[in-house]
Structure 1
Amino acid sequence: MKKSLLLFCFIAFLASCVKAQSIEDLMSQVSTVNLQTNVAQLSGEQSAIINGSMQTIPSRVHSANDLAADYIKERLEALPNLNVEFQDFNTTGKNVIATQLGQTNPDNIYIICAHYDSVTTYCADDNATGVAAVMEIARLLSNQCTDNTIVYALWDEEEIGLRGANYYAQQSADETNGNTRDNILGVINMDMIGYDGDAPGTPGDNQFDIDVRDIANSIAIKDDLLSILGTYTFDLHEIVVNPGTTASDHSRFWNQGYSAVLVGESWETNDQTPDYHTSNDRVEDIDFQYMTELTKLVLAYTATKAGLIGVDNTITQTATALISNQTTGTYQWFNCDTNTPISGETNQSFAPSTNGNYAVEVTNGDCTEISNCVNFSVLSSEEFLPNEIKVYPNPVDSVIKIDNFTESEIDITINTISGKVIKKTNSQKAYIEIEFDSTASGVYFVTIKSKTKASNYKIIKE
């Protein structure tokens, strides 16, 4: 290319193997909260730490959007396995380009992109939504090793002529002076993905457009997106628009003979934001559930085409240790609270001596992945006696009952078998009831702690 280009699972002291993250696992980790925060910060409705201080982005208009560019670049630089840089294309315009190099076929490139400039203040839907989605996809996929290269591109000066994307596409296709045309296999452009005419969070049609033209293999990208919609569960309804609009950045790749599509809210059915290109385009009008579904779709497409390499970056937690589920390779454990490696902790298992958040970096061959951070609490060596704490019934149907015969204050945490915290509370009542009727069937773990004792209880929800 010439372009400068954690898990809580207590099972009676036994480590239980968990499969490496699948595409569906990754989809389930798309965070609506992250999307909300990033859109609010990009649109200037919430302050953020940028260049070391708390600041508010006043505007993303192309002539004064350097602070927005810094915000994007800093957040991508904080992610693993990305090479992040500015690509200056004129005196004021600069793209933010983050490259995740493929391990098997580094010259095979898939681009996920959005423009970050705007025409006026706020402009939450246009296009803080697309940028936030690219950043969230990068957060999740940058922890993975892939066969092919992923480029996360945020374009500048889209609003005054698609200039940033045009420059990148022309440079990619340039074969003069001994240059080689970049092997871009697919481009998905996300432009305005946050508005659905139904009230935010309510059931509705959730229609979105896939704009496509019969250029290169663009139709195949559309077909791949439809296949993904049929493979996984989405609350979305597609509208295929062919010939699709040329009024956004994907068209500049069409001009160079590359395969590309636009994914966005449904202009085809006149269901776009009524506040288009005005300062009334605000966060309060974004349907974040709808936006989350579209982010999941593009993530699933990207992960599928990039090709996830089978390194298991998940962790199993026992009462006394954290264990990497990858059985071969080299390991380095990290303290997430200080963002530093832990000296001498290079084995598959690690027994923390203090409470904290920990992760493991696993290297197997040429592939290095880091786990999510896991919260680990050092359990007291003394457990509750049966006449002190009783958890019942087991199996449970609708309510978990806890008899706290000590009447001391206790912390109660309930985790799924995969480590997700689903309920957390504390109480010093003698009799405690926790609603469990709406919880899915399966195995759960109840951790109860006091100042001096701690115990774990495995329960089954029928």
Structure 2
Amino acid sequence: MKKVLSVLSLGILGIFHGQTFIQAYQDRANQVTQTNITSLLQQFSNLGVKTTGSVENNNTLAWLKSQYLTYGYTASQMSEDTFTSGSNTSKNLIVTKTGTVYPNIFVIICGHYDTINSPGVSDNGSGTSILLEAARILKDVPTEYSVKFIHFSGEEQGLVGSTHYVNNVVFSNNVRQLNLKVVFNIDQVGGKMGNPNTTITCESDQSGQTANNAPSLAMTQQLANCTTLYSPLLVNMSNAFASDYVPFENKGDIITGFYETPVSGNQHTPNDTFANVDPVYVFKVGKAAVGALQHFAVASSVLAVDEAQKISDQIKIYPNPAKNILYIETPSSVKNFAVEISDMSGKLVLKSENQNEINISGISSGNYMCSISYNGEKISRKIIVE
């Protein structure tokens, strides 16, 4: 991401007083963990230089999909948008969570996973990690609007992936196919060790099509308010510039976004590594993002004891790692259940019904997702087959 920050007005923060604090939103924002953020940043770093279309880029896509499966999202909730960049082929990953009131109106939260000449842990492993943590936390939280978690590739080649998605999925032959409430982009929020990482920049559209400038500013004011409500960060206001929200803005959609401040200067250099980002800063931005995403999508404001969760806590899958036989233990209230074991790409390798002892001797060694469907509910857990 290449960016020149232009401050609009810090004084505008004084009008962020009409938005209501919701305790449930805070409780979920507090579910962002430093351990998870740090681990995701390290894993992203270990995947190497993710140039669009490279083996490392493809491996990162597979890693992203495996993370969503681990969180309990299904293969049917995932889609891929394939595009070309020069002589290379790459894919955007789209994971959809359906809304309860407005299923056909979407809140998009997005960030790119491709890099140029480094592991790109800030640009944009930071945004990638926050998307994953938000998806984990909100997986079973009802939201009135549908949410699309989108991981774009090709950003560093000139917004190629997001442009393809807008022109071929959001629109088809210039006819709108998806109605969007807002596009919330997170790009380069890794900070820099040694910097005073206490402030996040909230970006609004103040160029291009003028009709969506005022709505974008209003939405960004809400983003800033959520940041101050649900995280310890201070807020800076600035213009949007040269990231994956631009193709949406060009088509008239309302955009907003997060960007680090002060700017690390490590982007697009070999210095964009895990050692040079501030994981604590990413953790704080993550809390702000989860708070804001709940606001944009109108998440449930109730934290209730879920009886289905009580049952899921009693379901046991063991041993793990397993060899030859996998045991399924369910409470007496579960009369019928189905078990599906899929590889990390989502391919089904075994299915059974009402069996507490499952012969897995025919499954190759590796990592798998074991899903158990019962009483209209479904849980998924990662297992290792030896």
AA at the equivalent of 1:185: K
1:113–1:189 CA contact under 8 A, matched in 2: yes
The CA distance in 1 between the partners of 2:136 and 2:292, in whole Å, is 15
The CA distance in 2 between the partners of 1:207 and 1:154, in whole Å, is 24
AA at the equivalent of 2:316: N
**Cross-structure match for 1:274:** 265
Residue 182 (str. 1) matches residue 182 (str. 2): no
The CA distance in 2 between the partners of 1:337 and 1:37, in whole Å, is 25
Residue 89 (str. 1) matches residue 72 (str. 2): no
Instruction: Report the CA distance shift for 1:94/1:223 in structure 2 as closer, same or farther (over 3 A).
Output: same
AA at the equivalent of 2:28: L
Instruction: Report the CA distance shift for 1:41/1:344 in structure 2 as closer, same or farther (over 3 A).
Output: closer
The CA distance in 2 between the partners of 1:197 and 1:70, in whole Å, is 30
What is the percentage of aligned positions where both structures have the same residue? 22
**Cross-structure match for 2:152:** 155
Cα distance, 1:205 vs. partner? 5.5
**Cross-structure match for 1:229:** 227
1:335–1:342 CA contact under 8 A, matched in 2: yes
Cα distance, 1:70 vs. partner? 0.8
Alignment of structure 1 residues 374-385 onto 2, 5 Å: none
Query: Over aligned residue pairs, what C-alpha RMSD do you find?
Result: 3.2
Cα distance, 1:260 vs. partner? 0.8
AA at the equivalent of 1:253: F
The CA distance in 2 between the partners of 1:338 and 1:221, in whole Å, is 49
2:99–2:142 CA contact under 8 A, matched in 1: yes
**Cross-structure match for 1:164:** 161
**Cross-structure match for 1:290:** 281
Count of residues in Structure 1 that have an aligned counterpart in Structure 2? 305
The CA distance in 1 between the partners of 2:150 and 2:303, in whole Å, is 27
Residue 260 (str. 1) matches residue 232 (str. 2): no
**Cross-structure match for 1:250:** 245
The CA distance in 2 between the partners of 1:333 and 1:139, in whole Å, is 21
Specify which of 298, 318, 333 is matched with residue 346 of structure 1.
Answer: 333
AA at the equivalent of 1:249: D
Q: Deviations over 1:316-357 (max 9, x none)?
A: xxxxxxx7688xxx989522656986445437xxxxxxxxxx
**Cross-structure match for 1:31:** 33
Instruction: Report the CA distance shift for 1:84/1:337 in structure 2 as closer, same or farther (over 3 A).
Output: farther
Q: Secondary structure at the match of 2:37?
A: helix
Specify which of 96, 106, 128 is matched with residue 99 of structure 1.
Answer: 96
Alignment of structure 1 residues 133-144 onto 2, 5 Å: 133-144=130-141
TM-score (norm 2): 0.70
The CA distance in 1 between the partners of 2:203 and 2:44, in whole Å, is 26
Instruction: Report the CA distance shift for 1:338/1:299 in structure 2 as closer, same or farther (over 3 A).
Output: farther
Q: Which runs of 5+ in 2 are unaligned?
A: 1-22, 321-326, 335-371, 382-386
The CA distance in 2 between the partners of 1:62 and 1:345, in whole Å, is 50
The CA distance in 1 between the partners of 2:65 and 2:165, in whole Å, is 17
| Larger helix share, 1 or 2 | 2
**Cross-structure match for 1:210:** 202
Cα distance, 1:109 vs. partner? 0.4
The CA distance in 2 between the partners of 1:371 and 1:277, in whole Å, is 38
Cα distance, 1:58 vs. partner? 3.2
Q: Secondary structure at the match of 2:183?
A: strand
Cα distance, 1:77 vs. partner? 2.2
TM-score (norm 1): 0.59
Instruction: Report the CA distance shift for 1:59/1:314 in structure 2 as closer, same or farther (over 3 A).
Output: farther
Residue 58 (str. 1) matches residue 60 (str. 2): no
The CA distance in 2 between the partners of 1:149 and 1:135, in whole Å, is 17
Over alpha carbons, which structure has the higher Rg?
1
Cα distance, 1:66 vs. partner? 0.7
- Greater RCO (Cα-Cα under 8 Å, separation 6 or more): 2
Instruction: Report the CA distance shift for 1:209/1:363 in structure 2 as closer, same or farther (over 3 A).
Output: farther
2:24–2:301 CA contact under 8 A, matched in 1: no
**Cross-structure match for 2:64:** 72
**Cross-structure match for 2:384:** none
